[in-house]
Amino acid sequence: MSRLPAAELKSFARVAGHLLVDPPVRAAGSRGQRGRPGVGLEYFDHRYYEPGDELRHIDWRQSARRGAAVVRRYQVETSSEWILCLDASSSMCGGDGAKWRLASACATALAYAFLDMGHRVGMLIFSDAVVAACPLGRGVAHYPRLLRTLAEHVPARHGARSRLGSCIDRLAGRPCAFVLGDFLTADQMRRDLAALQARCLQLQVLRIASTGDATLPIAGHVTLVDRETGERVDGIVDASLERAARAADAAMERDLRGFCRAAGVPFSACAATRDWRSALVAHLRATHRP
Amino acid sequence: MISVAAPLWLLGLAVGPLLWWLHRARGHGRSVAVASILLFRDVPAPRSGGPRAPVTDPAWRRRVASVVLLTLALAGLTLYRPARELIVWVDDGPSMATREAGGTRLAAGFAALRRALPHDPATHIELRSLAEPGLRYEANQLAPLVRSREARVPASGAISTQAAQWLLTDGANAALEDWARGGAIERVIRVGTETENVGVVGLAVRTRLSDSARLDGTVTIFNAGRRPARRDLVLHLGREPVLRQSLELSAGQTQLLGFTLSRPPQDSAALEAHLSPSDALPEDDHLALDARALQRRRIRIGGGCPEAVRSAVAVEADLELAASAGTADIAVSCDADDGQLSEPAAQSLPTLVVAGRRDSRDAVTDAAWSAAASAVLSETLLPRMLVLRGAGRNPPPDAEPLLRSGAGTLAWRPADARRRVETRVDLGAPALAAAPEYPLLVGELLELAIGEPLIARVAASDRDPRTITIAPNAAASLGASSAADGVLPAAQRARRGTPLAPPLVAIAAVLILWDLAVSVRSTTRLARAERGA
């Protein structure tokens, strides 16, 4: 994997810092505050008790003073853990390897941006199982380790299936996860996404699609071989079949987008021919909640 | 209308099914790796259970189309657009009168022509005679007349380049066949199969110089067929047969027979030659010669003419004195002493006008005949000539001089009387009349008036041997052997059609390049797909 220009990475990190951090909470008539309520140690503010709040957060002194139950809220920790999950199945070899190149470039840029923001970043490269992993780390020194993990693995051209569920066991705590892949699988991928979301504080999905996935180099009677499963289908290939394949690809993306919207998972899709910077910025803008 | 120059090339179209079959087999065994088979759920699968269904590579259409186009180009496909104007040249020469099984060749040709003519009312059809330039026929004419003249190739200016040209002929006229093969004719309608014909091609008589009461003659017979022929020749003078002879002629032989006749009387009928038995072209089995052409000319000599003139006329074998002016063929008129002609010369008769006044004469010194007369004057005759002088003896300015001397014009032809010769030579001078060449001088002047020679006169009637040739020439025979109903396509079509080979080759080249491009692209994409990331 080629290294990305440092200047572009820094530029992207600044953009990502603005788009990844939630906007500050501003109380009416008060000065703006940075941060947001969540799990943390530093006091944030008080509010009246609502069902579901933990009882241990009730501030009894304030409750007695106000005559109603009041809970203490804490400011969420500014740094978190991000796990970058890269699909390294054989289908990522399609499109002359453009999908894998874009995925690894995006992972590199995200890793740089998250590290620049002070997050701890880890990486899981998966196919049937996790084939390469880089544990969580922080700081400038961790970035080369992430790059080495990326560089040491190349997707197998045949026989490597895509199973996102293999990453679930590697997620300790409640990290944030960013999944990059082509999602050219059936319902299994959605089930894995649901399971992954349950184990993550935040989950983002970037689908990398290639028009070459629905294009066949020859026409006539051919035997189609699935790169991942090895399944073979004999059939007649012509222009109408390619049109149908493109339609099936679009339908698959539509289904995945619908699933993510329903699950509250930020999702975007980009073409494999796109450059990593525009692909990521478009994703962050599309998934940013002002 | 589309024609094919080399139909054997069309056998190449059989390669089409072979290519299709080869492409059916070629589809098996090629596998393509795809990112996900889920995207190709709609791929038409082969039949389940039985043997794998043969599937054809779609490229077979391009390749078969290329082969078909190249084959058609090699076959020489030519497109003929229906012409708006059609000119049919009709060979109506004598051979077209040959009797065939269905009538004359010309009638059969017109019947075949009516079947072959396009029924498009927008097409203007014109039938032109080749024997009589300018003559037009109607397409529905049932029995057109055969001309006695041989058909000739029309002048190039008469052939329209905008109209389609057809030719109706029997193939006997080699010139027409050459013309048709030259490419000007789009279609030839050829009729006739008969080849044997014998005809009389010549009949001629002349007065025997040693005996003016007898005539010597010849008759010429020509066998224009391809086999030996036997004929009986009968020669009639009026109703009297004067010659009977059996002839045996080999193919292509011309036989010349001589005969002698007594000079027929003045009112005798024609001299005729007959051949029997008759053949396919009976018109040439008979040839007649007008007997009047064999008679002596009757000459009327005016009363005032010198006796020497009468004596000179008497020595001419083909001249005899007429009893009256009404029966004369030639007249000699001499000046009277009062300046009037002794007998008025009829305007229609050839007349020699001789000066008769002898009171004033000049000697002739250097006389010379004009180009219109033969030089019969010798040096011995010139010194004896005397030229009359005086008023009315000089030729008018517009007269054609025939004999000149230092004294001026001696003999001339008036501009308003082309069959009259006038002279101011004193033909009655004794010195001149005593000369042995004197009859030659008189005869020369009479020949100038008549316009033809007096001695060695030949009466002849003949016909061109080519007009009795009815057998088609060799090239035409080859074409006729493949005839179906007498309507034949031309051996070589005219170049007016548009050859389709260039556009066919161009389209085939585009298809081949297209196929090459698709093959290269497929190979590249396949290799790239196999190479993967």
Tell me: pLDDT of A26 over 50: no
Q: Considering CB atoms only, which of B39, B52, B523 is closest to A248?
A: B39
- Give counts: helices (H), strands (E), chain B: 9, 30
Q: Considering CB atoms only, which of B43, B55, B533 is closest to A233?
A: B43
CB B273 within 8 A of CB B287: yes
Which pLDDT score, from 0 to 100, does residue B363 have? 59
Tell me: pLDDT of A289 over 80: no
State the average pLDDT over residues B462-471.
85
DSSP helix, strand, coil percent of chain A (3-state; round to 5):
40, 25, 35
For residue B82, what pLDDT band results from cuts at 50, 70 and 90?
low
Tell me: pLDDT of B391 over 70: no
Q: Considering CB atoms only, which of A221, A223, A252 is closest to B57?
A: A221
| Chain A CB contacts of B528 below 8 Å | 96, 217
Alpha carbon distance B472, A35 (integer Å): 117
Which pLDDT score, from 0 to 100, does residue A240 have? 80
Interface of chain B against chain A, CB under 8 Å?
Answer: 23, 26-46, 52, 55-59, 521-526, 528-529, 531-533
Which pLDDT score, from 0 to 100, does residue B357 have? 58
For residue B495, what pLDDT band results from cuts at 50, 70 and 90?
very low
Give the percent of chain A with pLDDT over 70.
87
Chain A residue with Cα closest to B523: A217
| Chain B CB contacts of A226 below 8 Å | 33-34, 36-37
| Chain A CB contacts of B31 below 8 Å | 222-225, 232
Q: Please report the residues numbered 114 through 153 in chain A whose beta carbons come closer than 8 angstroms to any beta carbon of chain B.
A: none
Beta-carbon separation of B525 and A217 below 8 A: yes
H, E, C per residue of B419-459? CEEEECECCCCHHHHCCCCHHHHHHHHHHHHHCCCCCCCEE
CA distance A271 to chain B (A): 15
Q: pLDDT digit string (tens) for A221-248? A: 678 888 888 888 877 777 788 888 888 8
Alpha helices in B173-245 (DSSP H): 174-179
Alpha carbon distance B264, B402 (integer Å): 36
Between B214 and A134, the higher pLDDT residue: A134
Beta-carbon separation of A94 and B26 below 8 A: no
Q: Please report the residues numbered 74 through 103 in chain A whose beta carbons come closer than 8 angstroms to any beta carbon of chain B.
A: 91-97, 99-101
CB B464 within 8 A of CB B199: no
CA distance B119 to chain A (A): 49
Residue to mutate among B24, B36, B57, with most A CBs inside 10 A, is B36
For strands B351-354 and B330-334, give the pairing. parallel
Chain B residue with Cα closest to A186: B38
Q: Considering CB atoms only, which of B40, B44, B522 is closest to A245?
A: B40
Beta-carbon separation of A236 and B59 below 8 A: no
H, E, C per residue of A209-272? ECHHHHCCCCCEEEEEEECCCCCEEEEEECHHHHHHHHHHHHHHHHHHHHHHHHHCCCEEEEEC
* Burial class of residue B207 in the structure, from the number of CB atoms within 10 Å of its CB (0-12 exposed, 13-18 middle, 19+ buried): buried
Which pLDDT score, from 0 to 100, does residue B479 have? 41
Q: pLDDT digit string (tens) for B267-282? A: 666 889 999 998 888 8
Tell me: pLDDT of B48 over 80: no
Which amino acid is present at B51?
P
**Complex-level ipTM:** 0.75
Tell me, rounded to whole angstroms, the distance of Cα A229 from its chain centroid: 24
Which pLDDT score, from 0 to 100, does residue B338 have? 46
A vs B: CB pairs below 8 A: 145
Beta-carbon separation of B40 and A224 below 8 A: yes
Alpha helices in B43-173 (DSSP H): 59-74, 105-116
Q: pLDDT digit string (tens) for B231-253? A: 999 998 877 888 899 999 999 89
Tell me: pLDDT of B72 over 70: yes
Tell me: pLDDT of B259 over 70: yes
Tell me: pLDDT of B481 over 50: no
Whether the bond between A290 and the residue before it is cis, its omega within 30 degrees of 0, is no
Tell me: pLDDT of A136 over 60: yes
State the average pLDDT over residues B407-426.
82
Residue to mutate among A218, A226, A255, with most B CBs inside 10 A, is A218
Q: What is the mean pLDDT of chain B?
A: 77
| Chain B CB contacts of A99 below 8 Å | 533
The verdict on pTM exceeding 0.95 is no
Which pLDDT score, from 0 to 100, does residue B362 have? 60
State the average pLDDT over residues A205-217.
86
Cα end-to-end span (Å), chain B: 59
**Lowest-confidence pick of A195-204, B126-135, B372-381, B524-533:** B372-381
Beta-carbon separation of B30 and A232 below 8 A: no
Q: Please report the residues numbered 156 through 175 in chain A whose beta carbons come closer than 8 angstroms to any beta carbon of chain B.
A: 157-158
Tell me: pLDDT of B488 over 50: no
DSSP state of B335: B
State the average pLDDT over residues B163-184.
84
Q: pLDDT digit string (tens) for B96-117? A: 888 888 788 888 888 888 888 7
The DSSP code sequence of B99-119 is EETTEEHHHHHHHHHHHHS--
For residue B533, what pLDDT band results from cuts at 50, 70 and 90?
very low
Tell me: pLDDT of B512 over 70: yes
State the average pLDDT over residues B260-264.
81
**Lowest-confidence pick of B3-12, B85-94, B427-436:** B427-436
Q: Is A239 on the interface with B (CB under 8 A)?
A: no
Beta-carbon separation of B40 and A241 below 8 A: yes
* Burial class of residue A175 in the structure, from the number of CB atoms within 10 Å of its CB (0-12 exposed, 13-18 middle, 19+ buried): buried
For residue B377, what pLDDT band results from cuts at 50, 70 and 90?
low
| Chain B CB contacts of A182 below 8 Å | 35
CB A182 within 8 A of CB A99: yes
- Sign of the four-CA dihedral B129, B134, B135, B137: positive
Which pLDDT score, from 0 to 100, does residue B306 have? 84
Alpha carbon distance B186, B178 (integer Å): 13
Alpha carbon distance B198, B186 (integer Å): 33
Chain B residue with Cα closest to A214: B39
* Burial class of residue B152 in the structure, from the number of CB atoms within 10 Å of its CB (0-12 exposed, 13-18 middle, 19+ buried): middle
Which is nearest to B287 in space by CA: B216, B362, B236? B236
Which pLDDT score, from 0 to 100, does residue A64 have? 94
The residue to which tokens 């005798």 are assigned:
B268
Chain A residue with Cα closest to B527: A217
Chain B residue with Cα closest to A155: B533
State the average pLDDT over residues B350-364.
69
CB A234 within 8 A of CB A221: yes
